[in-house]
Every structure is written in structure tokens, then in C-alpha cells.
Amino acid sequence: MLSSPIQSLPSTSSITIKKLKRLGINTYFDLLNYFPSRYEDYSVISKIDKIQVGEIVTISGKIIEAKNQYTRSRITIQKVVITDDTGIVEVNWFNQSYLIRVLKIGETISVAGLVKLFGSKLTIEPKEYEINDKKIHTGRLVPVYSEKKGLSAKTIREKMFFVLNSIVGDDPRVVPEFLPPKIISFNNLIDDQTAYQQIHFPDNLDMADKARERLAFDELFNLQLANNLIKKEWKKERVGNKFQLSIFNFQINQFIASLPFKLTGDQQKAIDEIITDLGNTTPMNRFLQGDVGSGKTVVATIACYLSFLNGYQSIIMAPTEILANQHFLTIKDLFLKLDTLRVGLITGSNKNKKNNYDIIIGTHALLSQKLKFKKVGLVIIDEQHRFGVNQRALLKEKALNSHLLTMTATPIPRTVALTLYGELDLSYIEEMPIGRQVIKTFLIPKEKRGDGYLWIKKQIKENAAQVFIVCPLIEESTSETLKSVKAVKIEFENIKKIFNNVETRHALSLLHGRMKSTEKNQIMSDFKNKKIDILVSTPVVEVGIDIPGATIMIIEGAERFGLAQLHQLRGRVGRSDKQSYCLLFSENLSEKTIKRLNFFCKNNLGVRLAEFDLSNRGAGNIFGTEQHGFVNLKIANLADFELISKTKKAVEYFVGKYKIEEWEELKKAVEKYKGEKISRD
């Protein structure tokens, strides 16, 4: 019954069904997994003669009066008088005239709200009400749901109540238990059916916590079991194109020695781990995390060179044309003295149909059905969480049984990485290249903004500094809206007035994601070639941009970003041996904001910043808004390291003790995660 389509909900309009579907709620079970964000405590039920000022209570009685009152200030008051066997009380709503048609005299009503003194009499400022005293919205701990896609928390609550009472009820067969009894008892967990009842309509906060723990345990258990199973399945695969290592040691070492810089210890360690993987008959499935500017690209380049020496192609997929272009130029430059190695670029604006390159770099254009690869030995996906599930799956299909390296500059705490990407082997680059200076970061108060601009003018004049000015997205989105573009254009005009005065003129340019690719590429080329002093941009185009001459980063509306995102932006400067600076501008300097941004100013290690945001703001601030590759945990908290540890041990016990075929319900749950994870890989 929980698999019933959501459109079979009784007394539900087609408009509400559409809104539920837009939230990803297609079945009753999907609805049960739309969890409350918090609870309002309306559990104090009081007789009218016992209510006291300042209390939040629920009262029940009959409506004896209901009318609209009109004031001179055009505010309408919906005055409703309620009586029980102890007295009467007045409840007042404002500017909701329709209520008088709903709240009819003689009907029983339950109202939850704050008791206030109005003149000499007590009144109730209503927060929730319901007719016929059902105790869904009042008289209990009331779940509060995120109101998205035009759905009110009250509507979601009513639909949830129906499913839990009419469909689930007390029948244990409706929500079958899928964890082995020993895991449940050892971890002191409540049963799943009770957990679903109590997470939505808890008897008390203690039961709500127990329910949350059980459902979060299920989620993390399924995720980590899926990782475990995928890793086992991956180990059974065999590479289509086998690599030889020892015969090419000399060429690899010679190439490393020819680089214009010395590799860091972390880079060398990552290279050794990757080369070892490439020598195996099992395909490599490695995740390389490196802080911004730490030198992941050169590590990937060396892996590509080994693939070339073995006679195989390498494919590198990047999320944006700017980053793909940059990889193309960087890698081509590294192989400048090697005439026999061909590097190609395929993007939306550069529709190169050739497939005879040794290293093919591109965007999602690499996924074109018309594009066939010859003999792929290595696939590299940069900033892999920025790609959709289907895109990654298609690339994997096109290069079947190849070695796979995924990379990210997004700082992810190790515990989180092991949980989300447990099926991958992990490598880390934390050391910065020799000669790099720490970027000096400052939070600039509003009154010092003018001084900041004067200092920037001086830096441009005396040190030929180049400047990024990044404006935040106005709306919470992974893509730029017209509203966001308009905002950055306004800021661009303001910056022009500040920097293009009579005394001195500076070359300024504007960059945003809605520009044509050719225009964006030209602007980036001009900026790199120092034809532009100041580049005003939105953050959508920030990933991986490498401008050695840029030494100043200004971030407007810094409070809108997670610390990991700020760190990504800051990493666009400080890519040479020159001292670089990052200035944070914010109009919202609350105590909490100041504390968070000051922490950022004092810390330059990405993982430390990500851990801070994980503890204080949640995982969404590590990955940004709704990144495709991020596993969408509904209730588990990635900062709950204790629960992560418990579920990891439970998975180890389960895998050692049971065969997954013995647990049909668990198999279904894991298959869901497994399908998502295989696609993600």
C-alpha cells in the first residue's frame, strides 16, 4: 500500500498532487520520507478558565461568535469567540476575511496559540487551529515541514496523518523491518514502524529523537552497505586495456624532472597511488581531493602520460568551458616539447569531431552520441559532483572498463568523504606548491569600504595587481537567473564609477554564466594576458580559473556563501609567488556572521573550513545548493560522526554474517542506493 501512487490520496486536489510530485513525492512511501524540520509544542491542553498570560496552550470549545471587524487603518480583524464548560475566550486573526466563512457558529474548534492580555481581558493569538478537534495541528507536538513548491506545512501534515493512520496503522506488514534483530538490539534502536509514526507525530521529544536516530541509522547503513557492495562488484571487473608500468619508469621520471616546479610530497604520494592502481587488472576507482591551487592537474597529467605511453587515450571531463579550456592550455603547455602527444578540446562552442587525440579534454559535449572513442585507458572527471547522474553514467559507458579518476577541489571532511564515497579509494593533496604565500584575508566593515577601494587602486598602480570582484547569486540556485545577472550588472556600473574617475582609469570587464562561450573565453583570455585590471563576475564561473597575475579577490555579500565556497573563490588568487589578498564585504554583520567570517579569515585549510560549516550550517554548505552528485540524505546528519561509526560497524558485521539475498527488504533499499551510486560512478 505504501507503493500506492500519490494521486490516489483521497480529498486531494490535482494542484496539490502536482506540487507534491514537484517535491519528488510520487508514492505514499515518498511522503513518509518527507521529514519535519522541527516541532511546535502545542501539547499543553487547558480549560479556558486556567489559561495564563505568556503561555502557549491549546483550548477546545464551540464557536459562539465569528465576525469581521474593520478598522480605520484598513486592517480587518477576524473576531472569533469560543466557549467551553469553564468560560469564554476571544481569538483574533488579522486580514484573513475568508476565515469567517470557514469558522461557523456552533462548530467545535481547537486553537493553539499564545495567551495575551488585550485591555483587561485575556485573548489568544492563534498559531494553528482545526475544526472538530482532530488533534493533528493542535494539542500535541506538531511537526513543521519545509514549505516548498507552494505547499503549506498544514497540507503536508494532513496528508501525512492520513497515510500513517489509514494506511500504516498498527499493521507491522506495512512497514516491514529490514535490519537483522541483532543489529537493532545491539544499537538500542526502535522498530521502523514506530520510527515513522514518531518522527511525524511524536508522543514527546525523546521519542522524536529515537525515531530520528533509527531512520538516520537506516539511511547511513544503506549508503555504506551500498558502497561496500559496489566496491566488491568493482573489484570483480577487469580492465579492457591493461597498463605496463616498469618499462616506462624512465620516461615518467624524466617527465617529472622536466617540470618547471618541484612536486610536493602529497603530489608525489598521490601519483604513486594512482600509478599502482593503473598497474592492476582491476579498474582504478580513485577519488583525488586537493585544496584549491594544490596541483591536482599535474597529477592527472602524469597519469595521462602513462596512458599515452601504453598506447591508450585519456578523457578529461570538466564542468565548465572555462575550466575545460584552462585544462587544455595547461596540459598542452606541459607537453609542449613532446610532439608526438596530441591534446584535443571538445566543448559546446568548439565542436571538434576528431577522436584521434591522445588526451581529449571537454565538457558534457564529450557525451555526444556521434563521438566515438578509440582505445580509452583512463577517464578523469573533474569536480565530479557538478555533473548529473546520467552524465557520469554515460561517460562511463563510452569508456567501458577503463581506469577512473575523479577529482575535486571542494574541501570535504575525511569522515564525510569516507561515508559518501566509501566505494572509492581516496587520495589527498593538502600541501601547497613551494613558494606559494598564504592569502591574507580581511573582513571589511562598511565604513572602511572606501579605504579598501583606495588601497586597491594603489595596488593596481604600483604592483600591476589584477582584481576579481565576485557578486553572489541573488537567488538560491545552481544556475544564474536573470535577476542575478541584473544584480551583477548594477554592481559593474557602480565599480566603473569608483575606478574610472578623472585621475586614473582602469580596464574593467564583466563576466557571467549567461554570456556566450566565445565571449566568456575572450574575456578570460584578456584577463590572463593582463588586458583587464578588474573583472566583475558572478560565482558560477569561478571553478578552476587560473590567473597568475590576479592577487586581489573581493567577495561581495560574503555571508551568503558557505566557508568552503568562499575558500574556492579565494583560491582564484594566490596562484603565483606574489602576496595575494582576499577582502570580504558584507552588509549583514550579525554576531553569528562576524564569528563565521572571522574564522574564515584566520584559516586557510579547506578541510578545516568544511568541518566548521558542517558542524554549524550543514552539508549543503560544503557542496553548494543541490549539487547532483551529492547523495541526498533526508534525515541523517553527516556531522554525526558517532552514528556514522555505528553504522559502519553494523555494515561490517552484516557483510561478514549475512548474505544480502536473505534480506529482501534490505536488498530493495540498497538497490536504490546502489543504482544511484553506480550511475554516479
Q: Taking residues 561-579, what's their average pLDDT?
A: 86
| Nine cell digits for residue 20 | 507534491
Give yes or no for residue 608 having a pLDDT over 90. no
Query: Higher model confidence: residue 428 or residue 607?
Result: 428
pLDDT at site 671: 62
The CA-atom distances, in angstroms, between 36 and each of 152, 153, 157, 200, 334 are 12, 9, 9, 7, 53
pLDDT digits (tens, 9 = 90+) for 148-175: 888 999 999 999 999 999 888 877 778 8
Architecture of the domain whose range is 44-139: Beta Barrel (2.40)
% pLDDT > 70, the chain: 88
pLDDT at site 396: 67
Of 292, 310, 312, which is closest to residue 360 (Cα–Cα)?
312
Give yes or no for residue 474 having a pLDDT over 60. no
pLDDT at site 494: 86
pLDDT digits (tens, 9 = 90+) for 126-154: 999 999 877 899 999 999 998 888 899 99
SS3 64: strand
Contact criterion met (CB below 8 Å) for 35 and 634: yes
pLDDT at site 627: 40
| CA distance linking residue 30 with residue 23, whole number of Å | 10
CATH number of 440-603: 3.40.50.300
CA dihedral 98, 100, 106, 110 (to 10 degrees): 70
Query: Higher model confidence: residue 349 or residue 624?
Result: 349
The CA-atom distances, in angstroms, between 280 and each of 254, 270, 314, 419 are 23, 16, 17, 25
Give yes or no for residue 504 having a pLDDT over 70. no
pLDDT digits (tens, 9 = 90+) for 475-486: 545 555 556 556
SS3 522: helix
Contact criterion met (CB below 8 Å) for 596 and 443: no
Of 423, 321, 398, which is closest to residue 406 (Cα–Cα)?
423
pLDDT at site 501: 63
Look up residue 628 and give its DSSP letter. Answer: T
Full 3-state SS string of 15-39: HHHHHHHHCCCCEHHHHHCCCCCEE
Instruction: Please report which confidence band the pLDDT of residue 618 belongs to, taking 50, 70 and 90 as the band edges.
Output: low
Task: Write down the mean pLDDT value for the chain.
Answer: 86
Separation of CA 41 from chain center:
30
Give yes or no for residue 54 having a pLDDT over 90. yes
Q: What does DSSP say about strands 581-585 and 550-555: parallel, antiparallel, or unpaired?
A: parallel
Which of 51-60, 367-376, 401-410 has the lowest average pLDDT? Answer: 367-376
pLDDT at site 409: 82
| pTM score | 0.76
Give yes or no for residue 678 having a pLDDT over 50. no
| CA distance linking residue 578 with residue 353, whole number of Å | 41
In the chain, which residues fall in CATH 2.40.50.140? 44-139
pLDDT digits (tens, 9 = 90+) for 235-292: 888 888 899 999 999 999 999 999 988 999 999 999 999 999 999 999 998 999 988 7
| CA distance linking residue 377 with residue 243, whole number of Å | 8
Contact criterion met (CB below 8 Å) for 59 and 46: yes
pLDDT at site 681: 36
Which of 125-129, 427-431, 609-613 is most confident?
A: 125-129
Contact criterion met (CB below 8 Å) for 539 and 474: no
Contact criterion met (CB below 8 Å) for 101 and 83: no
Give yes or no for residue 680 having a pLDDT over 50. no
Query: Higher model confidence: residue 503 or residue 615?
Result: 615
Which of 198-207, 265-274, 299-308, 548-557 has the lowest average pLDDT? Answer: 548-557
In the chain, which residues fall in CATH 3.40.50.300? 246-429, 440-603
CA dihedral 500, 501, 506, 509 (to 10 degrees): 0
CATH number of 246-429: 3.40.50.300
Contact criterion met (CB below 8 Å) for 114 and 55: yes
SS3 97: coil
pLDDT at site 625: 43
| Nine cell digits for residue 250 | 624512465
Query: Higher model confidence: residue 679 or residue 420?
Result: 420
Bridge partners (DSSP) of residue 66 are 80
SS3 283: coil
% pLDDT > 90, the chain: 49
pLDDT at site 646: 94
Q: What does DSSP say about strands 466-470 and 121-131: parallel, antiparallel, or unpaired?
A: unpaired
Query: Higher model confidence: residue 449 or residue 110?
Result: 110
Counting Cα atoms < 13 Å in the Cβ hemisphere of 664 gives 1
Instruction: Please report which confidence band the pLDDT of residue 502 belongs to, taking 50, 70 and 90 as the band edges.
Output: very low
pLDDT at site 669: 67
